[in-house]
Structure 1
Amino acid sequence: MTENTDGISVEGQNAVVIGGTSGIGLEIARAFARDGADVVATSRSADSVAEAAEELRDLGAETVEVTCNVRDPDSIAALRETAEDALGSIDTLVTSQGSVATTPVTEMSEEEWGQDIDVLLTGAFRAIKEFGAAMDEGSIVNISSMSAEQSREARPSYVSAKAGLNGLTRATAADLGPEVRVNAIAPGFVKTELAGPKLEDGSAFREGVDERTPMERVASPDEISGAALYLASDAASFTTGEIITIDGGYDRSSV
């Protein structure tokens, strides 16, 4: 970890961002690289990993190209070993892998249910277990969702997985502390590839979200990355087991 206690900085850190080749994860990887960290951004797609690595190198970061499937413990172990061989000990792990089934509970198959739970929750467990055991000190940042605390139509597996991720965050903060801090970020509506057309400008759903949100808009991925920088930095040295919601006030709006 860096010794900078004057502000929010990850300069000099080595970071791994799972799900770091698109959406929020990619923006976090970019933010870390801009701030002087070396970063491995990974996902299941070799092409996406290569594209992200090229961009991170352009930003001045050292990196290595390695894919990862969080449903496979051996893949996560290979990711850690490859990242450590290339960069040295890992200071920060970000879990930002994505999966979302949009099926009502009475119509949802066990396969759909199982995929969201395995990717979003058990995948995070596997990554925390693997990296946490190898970290002498550092920070783990899970990307949760405000949906973990809400009633969401046709999202039973996603909501359950994210609620479980919040619990996993708190439990592993107790297990890994004081050396390793574990926190989560719970974004609200963010315009990413995974969000799909519902959040496009002019859609009825988007208009409803904007009306209810005090900020009167949805977020862009770069508006989430600042929280990740904070949680990974020494500025958050006494912050662990926390879920930081970033939703433009949506969850607390009475509209």
Structure 2
Amino acid sequence: MRLLLITASSPEIRRIRKSRFLNFQQITMPYLAALTPSPWVVTHVDEEAEAVDYEAEVDLVGITFHTPSAYHAYRIAHSFRERGIPVVMGGPHVTLVPEEAAQHADIIFIGEAEGLWQQFLLEFEEGRHTKIYQTAAIPSLEHAPQAKKDLFHRKDYTNGVIISSRGCPNRCDFCTLSMMYKNRLRKRPVAEVAAEYASFRGKIIIFWDDNIAADREYSKELFRAITPHRKWWSSQASIHAGQDEEFLELAARSG
């Protein structure tokens, strides 16, 4: 079975991002590929790096996107569905407006994919999949697989992308995280994160955490664990982290 994963980005968004310093690799699809069992053969197209081949011979297409690229993603889906190729969609936009997304896909995922993705693929193979998959339980990040490094395609200055946590306990009214993750913070075991961090050959790593300062004691333990690897990293954190001198010192020392 052949699976094409697409990180969709509209022409307008691509033009904007070309002029920006902060245009990091996206981790979603390489991570989803790591959750995909054999015998599925997975390819990934990141539109920030390459064009979609609309004539690709595949059995299933998966698309993720942010809201500014929604209509563009729907056009991609339409092109494949016209050829009789089923399309599955997921991600923040689909989770927040599933009724809209469902009009443009054969299958949609609401919320997180761990556990459900494997179930869906099995049901797809057997011809008994449903239209909507929505997790009832909040998945643990313990023993989460490492994203497939060979599916990162952007030629930027970063050498690795990783997550140590997901979600944020804050309830900022401007942020979608509280709606998506219900203010629940999940963390990977520090040893697992440090091992993946060390596995990247390059020196510049991006933590795609929603808020790396959400649990500062956890973050301090993580910073201590990655310090010996002598890499440079970047992430995003809420402003209260600036009031914690130990957090700042350990973060700076770790990279």
**What range describes the TM-score normalised by the shorter chain of this pair?**
0.3 to 0.5
TM-score by length of 1: 0.39
The structure whose RCO (Cα within 8 Å, separation 6+) is larger is 1
**Greater Cα radius of gyration, structure 1 or 2:** 2
Name the structure with the higher helix share: 1
TM-score by length of 2: 0.39
